[in-house]
Structure 1
Amino acid sequence: MERVPQSIDDYIVQFPPETQKILQQVRETIKQAAPQAKEVISYKMPAFKQKSILVYFAAYTKHIGFYPTGSGIEAFKQEFENFKWSKGAVQFPISQPMPLGLIARITKFRVEQDSIKK
């Protein structure tokens, strides 16, 4: 049975060192874009939450999955032309530099959306 990580640190340590470095970069980018957000594990993935989940991220063999919910994808889909994406996720290949600026902008967008929820 697959072990469920108890923290983002616990999640990251499961991966090879190169992937760990990328996951830490993504984590730090999200933390800077959403400084009030709390780190949580949801659906066995790292996530950042305020009133609700802002974004999730996860590592796979060849990509980092970024899950900014449907609204985050919809608002930025024009910037995903070089990536595989769906209505709720975008895949950033591990073999390419992570688009940290894009991740930050999407996260800030999700923070704004979350702040207007009741």
Structure 2
Amino acid sequence: MPGTPSTIDDYLAALPTDPADAIEEIRLRVHRIVPGITEAIRYGMPTFMLDDRYLLYLGAWKHHIALYSIPPFDEPLQSAVADYRAAKDTLQFPFSRPIPFELIDQIVTELLARRRAADARHEH
């Protein structure tokens, strides 16, 4: 990708159709699950920000879509993501398999719940 994109739309425009479509679907789902989420590009990747702090990074690569800064989860979500765990805080969804959008919805929902719980603890 020549240069660093400045928006997620720029990022998508530089991708082949299949990865761009997958990222766009995730983008739409994130906005539906997290009202008020904003978008940015950080580290050259689409980033979803909540209250000026990142909630989720994602990137399209040659063979997969990756979600970053994904912590360990409680069961049963931890088992559901186990096959996709590529590193301590990274999930990879290969293009050789259908992208599990419903699972990604669960991940985003859990990330939002954790953020809200952390924010509530800091308010008291």
TM-score (structure 2 length as normaliser): 0.83
Q: Unaligned regions of 5+ residues in structure 2, if any?
A: none
Q: Distance in 2 between matches of 1:70 and 1:107?
A: 10
* Equivalent position SS for 1:82: helix
* Equivalent position SS for 1:5: coil
How far the C-alpha of 1:28 sits from its partner, in A, is: 1.1
How far the C-alpha of 1:80 sits from its partner, in A, is: 2.3
Between the two proteins, the alignment pairs up a number of residues equal to 115
CA change 1:84–1:70 in 2 (3 A) is closer
Residue aligning to 1:83: 84
* Equivalent position SS for 1:103: helix
Residue aligning to 1:41: 41
CA-to-aligned-CA distance 1:8-58 (integer Å, 9 cap, x gap): 000111111122111111111211111221111111110111132111110
Residue aligning to 1:106: 107
Residue aligning to 2:26: 26
Residue aligning to 2:63: 62
CA change 1:26–1:8 in 2 (3 A) is same
Moved over 6 A (4+): none
- Cα RMSD over matched residues? 1.8
Q: State the structure with bigger RCO (CA 8 A, min sep 6), 1 or 2.
A: 1
On the 8 A contact 1:12/1:23 being kept in 2, the answer is: yes
Q: Please tell me the residue identity of whatever aligns with 2:62.
A: T
Q: Distance in 1 between matches of 2:14 and 2:61?
A: 11
Q: Unaligned regions of 5+ residues in structure 1, if any?
A: none
How far the C-alpha of 1:70 sits from its partner, in A, is: 4.3
How far the C-alpha of 1:82 sits from its partner, in A, is: 2.7
TM-score (structure 1 length as normaliser): 0.87
* Equivalent position SS for 1:65: strand
